[in-house]
Each structure stands twice: as structure tokens, then as C-alpha cells.
Amino acid sequence: MKTIKGPAIFLAQFLDNHAPYNSLDSITDWVSGLGYKGVQIPTWDPRAIDLQKAAESKNYCDELKGKLAEKGIQITELSTHLQGQLVAVNPAYDLGFDGFAPDSVKGNPKARTEWAVQQLLLAAKASQNLGLSAHATFSGSLMWHTVYPWPQRPEGLVDMCFTELAKRWTPILNAFDEAGVDLCYEIHPGEDLHDGITYEMFLEKVNGHKRANLLYDPSHFVLQCLDYLQYIDFYHERIKMFHVKDAEFNPSGKQGVYGGYQSWVNRAGRFRSLGDGQVDFGAVFSKLTQYGYDGWAVLEWECAIKDPVQGATEGAPFIDAHIIQATSKIFDDFAGGGADIELNKKLLGLS
């Protein structure tokens, strides 16, 4: 067994135009003061990183790591959630997802996809230059609009979708393999990879690609009524990243999983700050430790009620308290008799 690293924090939800959240230098001063030891960096935000420069310049990456190391902070992973989303977009969502793209490719789905793919290729090289072993992204979606279909899905639609996803992602996965970095899909509603079954269908289409791995976030499974602990049993060998995020699901006679088009605060399922939801983090950390996960535990703060600063402040000690120092000895070793072949034979009646 191995010990999980942490606590760390995903910066995406905190970066804005006001100090101390408006630059990597100032926001890492802030999170270091809260007790975080690592940061996960969103690559689409120039206040945090210049992705192209990171891909092209090892010196830039070394300087970036050095400045953070002086504060006791490591870069845990890079994220391309927004760019990964744009690798596969159904036309029904073109207008909505254009907001994730630069002005130069808005209104041009083909150019937008090409830009997104290039962003992922840069992220592979940047991760390598930073000495990182894992990277976070979304799969994008071509058929989310059919998740609860009416009329029924035509025969062959699902297979065609996952064949196309694999076609788009395989060159990216190969680039990450060349860089020695695991590409970790956050399994998430709204993505074609939104549960274990859809991940398995994708994995089959990419021929079990060794870099097609998982970012584990139990909050999304609470909202789907999926067994988030057994999920670890099924997929622990592919889990290379961990978002520590809480959620609650409180269905009523008026609404359930789909939420009735309500705001986050009025939904039956909603994200919560750590400890305020229903995720059994004691069991989650135990299972991940049992299976030897030794990556980072990264707070992704999202809450419909609590202020983000309070959530971040409470998050570091919460994660720290749940990290299990993996044991190097068995608890009943004191009563052990050591190795004795003849004794074993006698115990089995073989001598």
C-alpha cells in the first residue's frame, strides 16, 4: 500500500480579477497559507500558465516549479477540461460551447475542434516538461442529448458515437503516451464518458489504450445514484487522479435526478463543500489506499450554499485528516511465529 499525497486544490474555481486570486504567484501564496501542498492548474486561464510556452520551454517550466517550490507548493497536474470538451461537440451545443474557445475559431466547429486537439497536444508536452505523470480532461460529447431518448435511439448510433470518439482521441492518447503521461477523463454528466459502462465502451474502442485513464470524483456518482465505492473496486487500476468533492442527493415527490430545470440550490442533487454532503470520504480514502493509489487528493470546490473562501479554508484540514498513512506492518505481527517449513507441515498434518 502507498500513502495518498495532499492536500492539493484545483485553482479553476478561484481564479478571478481580484487579488489574491488574479495571478499564479498571489493565489499560491494564499493556498499555501491555508495548508495546501499542491495545485492543479487550469491551462485555459493565462493568469495561471502560458500553455504554449510550457510546451515549448523546459526553462519556463523549471522556473515555474522553482517559484512554487519556494512556497512549499507542487504542481499536481494540469487540466484541459474546457479544451477536452471541445474535442467532441454535438451541433446542438455549438453556441453554448463556443464560449470555451478563442474568438478566432468561434462559429467554426471544424476549426474549433482542431484548436482543441492542438491544445491537448500542447498539454501533453507541457506536462512532460513539468515532470507530471497525469493530466485531467473531459471527453466531450456527441450524443448526450440522447441520454434518455425519445424517440428511441436508432440502431448503431451508440457504436458510431464511440467509434468517432476513439478516432478523435487516439492520436491525443498516443501523444500523451509519448510524453509518459496518463490522460485522465473526469467521468461526468454531460460527457459521453459519464459512468463506468460508457468508459468501458470507449476503452474498448481505443483498444485498451494504457493512457486512457480516470479522474475519480465521487460527487458525480452521488448525483447519478451510482455506487461510488464499488466503482473503485472495478476501476482502481485505471484511477490516476482524485478530485475530493462532496455532494448530496435528496429526491422528493416533485423532483429527482434530472432536477426539474432548477438552480443549483433548488435541485435534489447538488454539490456541497467537504463534509456538508453525503460522500463517505473515510471509506473513499480507505479504498484508494487499500488499492495503492499514491496520486494527489485535490479539492475541487463547488457548493451551492457555502462561500468559496470558507470552503477552501476548511478543505485543507479536511483532506489532511482523511489521508491514511499506509501501514508497513501487519497489526498482529507481534504474535507471529516467523517462517518455519517444518512447523507448517505439522500444522497441516503433513509430517
- Using pLDDT thresholds of 50, 70 and 90, give the confidence band for residue 339: confident
Does the pLDDT value for residue 346 go beyond 70? yes
- Using pLDDT thresholds of 50, 70 and 90, give the confidence band for residue 334: low
Q: Look at strands 246-249 and 182-186 and give their pairing.
A: unpaired
pLDDT digits (tens, 9 = 90+) for 150-181: 999 999 999 999 999 999 999 999 999 999 99
Mean pLDDT of 73-92: 98
How many CB atoms are located within 10 Å of the residue 115 CB? 16
Does the pLDDT value for residue 67 go beyond 90? yes
How many CB atoms are located within 10 Å of the residue 101 CB? 24
pLDDT digits (tens, 9 = 90+) for 113-164: 999 999 999 999 999 999 999 999 999 999 999 999 999 999 999 999 999 9
Mean pLDDT of 213-235: 98
Say yes or no: domain 5-347 is CATH 3.20.20.150.
Answer: yes
Q: Which long-range contacts (CB under 8 A, 24 or more apart) does 66-70 make?
A: 67/25, 68/24, 68/28, 68/39
- Using pLDDT thresholds of 50, 70 and 90, give the confidence band for residue 328: confident
Does the pLDDT value for residue 338 go beyond 90? no
Model pLDDT, residue 36:
98
Model pLDDT, residue 336:
73
> Could you tell me the end-to-end alpha-carbon distance of the chain, in angstroms, rounded to an integer?
36
Quote the percentage of the chain above a pLDDT of 90: 93
Residue 40: name the closest of 308, 292, 287, 244 by CA: 244
Does the pLDDT value for residue 80 go beyond 80? yes
**Residue 330: exposure state from Cβ atoms within 10 A (0-12, 13-18, ≥19):** exposed
Mean pLDDT of 186-199: 98
Model pLDDT, residue 256:
97
pLDDT digits (tens, 9 = 90+) for 19-61: 999 999 999 999 999 999 999 999 999 999 999 999 999 999 9
Does the pLDDT value for residue 299 go beyond 90? yes
Mean pLDDT of 272-296: 98
Mean pLDDT of 329-336: 70
Q: Could you tell me if 247 and 279 are in contact, meaning their C-beta atoms sit under 8 angstroms apart? A: yes
Model pLDDT, residue 343:
86
Does the pLDDT value for residue 330 go beyond 80? no
Residue 121: name the closest of 70, 187, 165, 170 by CA: 170
Cα(271)–Cα(255) distance, integer angstroms: 16
Model pLDDT, residue 170:
98
Residue 322: name the closest of 272, 276, 288 by CA: 288
Does the pLDDT value for residue 335 go beyond 70? no
